Structure 1
Amino acid sequence: MKPWPFAKRGLVAVARVAVAGILGTPIHIVLVLLTLISLATTVVGVGLVLAPLVQLLVRAYADLRRWMAREWSGVDIPRPYRPRPDGAWIGTPKRWLWLVRDPATWRDLLWLVGGAPLGLGFGFGSAILLVYGLQGVILLPVIINLVSGDDTGYGVTWPLNQVSWGSVPFQGALITAGILYAAPWLQWALAKYDQSLLGPTSAAVLTRRVDRLTETRTQVVDAQAAELRRIERDLHDGAQARIVALGMSLGMAEDLVLHDPAAAQQLIAEAREASGLALAELRHLVRGIHPPVLAERGLVGGLRALALTMPVPVVVEGELPGRPPAPVESAVYFAAAEALANVAKHSGARAAWVSLSYLGGALYCSVSDDGVGGAAPGSGSGLAGVERRLAAFDGSLRLDSPPGGPTVLTMELPCVLSSPKTSPFSATG
């Protein structure tokens, strides 16, 4: 590692640990005292107002520490708090009960109590060691030179412990290098401590996942019912009507075939044309359920065929070690199709890219373009529907679309791929 980037990284980490530890300690102490006072004064009614106000401060400070952990150490800490019930206003018993019944409230208090000595020790320890090491490198040799009159400053011995002054800069350099190396780890350790108490517990994570799956299941049931109604409507108004008309035309031709062969021939020609249109509508309807190209060429091949129909040049790249389950394959295909349709309609892009990969038990599909950016799930672009489609498979969608572009849409779906021996549909194109 080069000296300056190493030193810069260490100095920044020392400063951050000092800010989080030294400056954070009095905040921890004050918030702990305010929390205890607010809870104790509930018996006289003051705590009904004071406790919610103090918890607003505690949670605001906890949110700041979550931001610091994410931005400084890359440690993501989701907010674990339960949603506020209706009518739980500050000053009402309902608001107070909501706070005291939330396990995150007591975990915040435990975090405040433990974080004060931990932060103080990390902050002061790193700062003192850095100053001690630097003064050993810079200040002490200079002082010894001035006091002893020695030109080099390395020939004088300390009268108490008989350690040569020549070792002082060396020791200082070792201490300085050691703390600069350890500071990023101290910063990370503080972030992990915050994560252990400020994040949701495993039980809360499972509860949230169950709630999310319950919500998505309801959405999937509603979407499936709407899809069935659409299929029924398309069949009734399209192919079914044409087939009924076809039967009537053939019946009339049967009556006319003996005494007016020309008219019967005309009706038969019209019936043949109607049968072709009915077949085309049925094929279109089937493609909306499960595109045949997926069964024939797999997901990568299907997306490459889809790319050929787009008005914007699309490059499809993918290498899958197997084949996803058919429902997942279909969901990714239609989600990518919706994303590419948005590229063509709204982005003003000159080119787009689709990338497929499989990592850690999840299928990733990324759709990007060089357009104007500014896409959002709630802007009527259909991304909310894509998100609901993926949520049915416990999948997720991430959108990065700053104004001016580029736009990158990443879909993640956990799944298990079939054996590559039975699925030769991985390709790069």
Structure 2
Amino acid sequence: MTISHTAPRVRERAWLVADAVTWRGLLHLLLNLPLSLVGFVVVTVVISLGVGLAVTVVGIPVLVAGLRICRAFGSLERARARCLLGLRVPTPSHPPSRRPGQRGPGLATLGDPAAWREALFLFIRLPWGILSFVAALLLLTVAWVVLPGATRMLVAVDRAMVTGLLAPSARVEQRVREATANQRAARDAATDLRRIERNLHDGAQARLVALAIGLGMAKEILAEDPQAAAEMIAEAHGEVKLALVELRDLSRGINPAILTDRGLPAALAALADRCTVPTLVTVELTARPAAALEGIIYFTTAELLTNISKHSQATDSTVDLHRAEDGSLRLRIGDDGVGGADPRGGSGLTGLGERIAGIDGSMTVDSPAGGPTTVTVRFPWQDAPQEPPR
């Protein structure tokens, strides 16, 4: 009789000791079997079918679809681990497409290491899913005295598997970021080339053609009507001046000489001088960054100051560039205008933010209605290459 009364009390105390963390862990263990079974069937059937048919036209799309399903299962497992185990595992980046604007079956997925790791996770998960499911049932029905401790040990195995196979690899993530940045740089370069071609065709080239025609006509009538020829030459002289201005502006947009020769302090000061709003420039740098980074900072500042000139209705603006404590470069541009700038509205700020994100930077816009507006841009520091000893 003593044993029969003591056992229910011990069991009652054990159930009281089991806290919310334990119950969530048990739920996670019980869900392992059905999810592992579905994942195992998918990965073995779809991936095997895709590999078997790889020599045919159908095989590659099937394999790509299977890897994308594996990535979806990986997202589901990361979400389950976050909700039930409190384990936050970042989502690995998807690889960029082979070429900008490429369409098709998504061949880049075949080279996605995260998808293959998630396929491996689903393949080896089934034995552990069966074992953990049985262990969870035993804990609930027989071994309830050791319920919290045993659950923690079983959950630790789950956490290790999720972290080891579903977490992003730092090396791979860096390669994905570099590839994405290179593709965005290529798209930006192509856009710049089209802009230069369009500006040359519509601007300086058209003026030079008109100049050649005008000088030819002036040459033909020079002997018969010197006064008319002189007027035509004077008009051609004006066209030459305008063409030179356009060519100078175009060359400034390609490679500003002041940036190459004197660096960011002088280049940003020159941009501020051209801004229609009085602008105070502060640059605090102890070393010169890489030339590519200088160019990005220069054109970012130029675009933001142009926005201030066109839209802000401000009477004062500031440009501040300094090296932050974390080693990054911080560019802060503000004005006392009307505010209301929204990068989510499809404006030029949207494209600017995407280009900055392409080099692993970030941009935040604080622009309440009525102002003031502050745009803060973070650039990852890139050292200028050292010149070889002479």
* Band of TM-score, shorter chain: 0.5 to 0.7
Amino acid across the alignment from 2:20: L
Q: How far did 1:379 drift?
A: 1.3
Distance 1:225 1:300 in 2: 28
1:30 equivalent in alignment to 2:42: no
Structure 1, residues 33-81: CA drift from partner, whole Å, max 9, x if none? 2213543588999xx9xxx999888644544699x89xxxxxx963348
Q: How far did 1:375 drift?
A: 4.6
Structure 1, residues 306-360: CA drift from partner, whole Å, max 9, x if none? 2233344433222112323333212111112223334455566664432212356
Q: How does 1:175-324 map to 2 (within 5 A)?
A: 197=163, 201=167, 203=169, 205-324=170-289
Distance 1:105 1:367 in 2: 52
Q: 1:372 to 1:277 in 2, by over 3 A?
A: closer
State the partner residue of 2:329.
Answer: 363
**Which residue of 375, 383, 394 corresponds with 2:349?**
383
Distance 1:290 1:81 in 2: 33
Distance 1:118 1:414 in 2: 48
Q: How does 1:339-418 map to 2 (within 5 A)?
A: 339-345=304-310, 351-358=316-323, 362-369=328-335, 375-391=341-357, 394-401=359-366, 403=368, 407-417=374-384
Amino acid across the alignment from 1:307: A
Distance 1:286 1:210 in 2: 33
Deviates more, 1:282-291 or 1:207-216: 207-216
Amino acid across the alignment from 2:206: A
Answer whether contact 1:253 1:264 (CA < 8 A) is retained. yes
Residue 357 of structure 1: SS of its match in structure 2? strand
Answer whether contact 1:367 1:409 (CA < 8 A) is retained. yes
Distance 1:294 1:246 in 2: 32
Q: How far did 1:100 drift?
A: 5.9
Distance 1:391 1:281 in 2: 31
Answer whether contact 1:77 1:198 (CA < 8 A) is retained. no
Q: How far did 1:298 drift?
A: 2.1
Q: Choose 1 or 2 for highest CA Rg.
A: 1
Q: How far did 1:231 drift?
A: 1.4
Q: How does 1:63-212 map to 2 (within 5 A)?
A: 63=82, 78-80=90-92, 101=119, 103=121, 197=163, 201=167, 203=169, 205-212=170-177
Distance 2:177 2:279 in 1: 34
Q: 1:417 to 1:357 in 2, by over 3 A?
A: farther
Q: 1:104 to 1:337 in 2, by over 3 A?
A: farther
Residue 286 of structure 2: SS of its match in structure 1? coil
Amino acid across the alignment from 2:90: P
Query: Can you give the 5+ residue segments of structure 1 that lack an aligned partner in the other structure?
Result: 1-20, 70-75, 84-96, 122-192, 420-429
Distance 1:60 1:242 in 2: 62
How many pairs does the alignment contain?
301
Distance 2:89 2:364 in 1: 20
Query: Can you give the 5+ residue segments of structure 2 that lack an aligned partner in the other structure?
Result: 1-17, 46-70, 96-114, 136-147, 154-158
Distance 1:410 1:316 in 2: 15
State the partner residue of 1:39.
Answer: 36
Distance 1:349 1:65 in 2: 52
What's the C-alpha RMSD, in Å, of the aligned pairs? Answer: 4.8
State the partner residue of 1:171.
Answer: none
Distance 2:335 2:309 in 1: 10
Deviates more, 1:229-238 or 1:208-217: 208-217
Q: 1:402 to 1:286 in 2, by over 3 A?
A: closer
Distance 1:104 1:80 in 2: 16
Amino acid across the alignment from 1:410: V
Answer whether contact 2:360 2:380 (CA < 8 A) is retained. yes
Q: 1:82 to 1:260 in 2, by over 3 A?
A: closer
Distance 1:255 1:213 in 2: 60
Residue 344 of structure 2: SS of its match in structure 1? coil
Distance 2:83 2:246 in 1: 57
Amino acid across the alignment from 1:309: R
Q: How far did 1:406 drift?
A: 5.5
Amino acid across the alignment from 1:214: A
Distance 2:20 2:313 in 1: 49
Answer whether contact 1:361 1:414 (CA < 8 A) is retained. yes
Amino acid across the alignment from 1:363: L
Answer whether contact 1:314 1:354 (CA < 8 A) is retained. yes
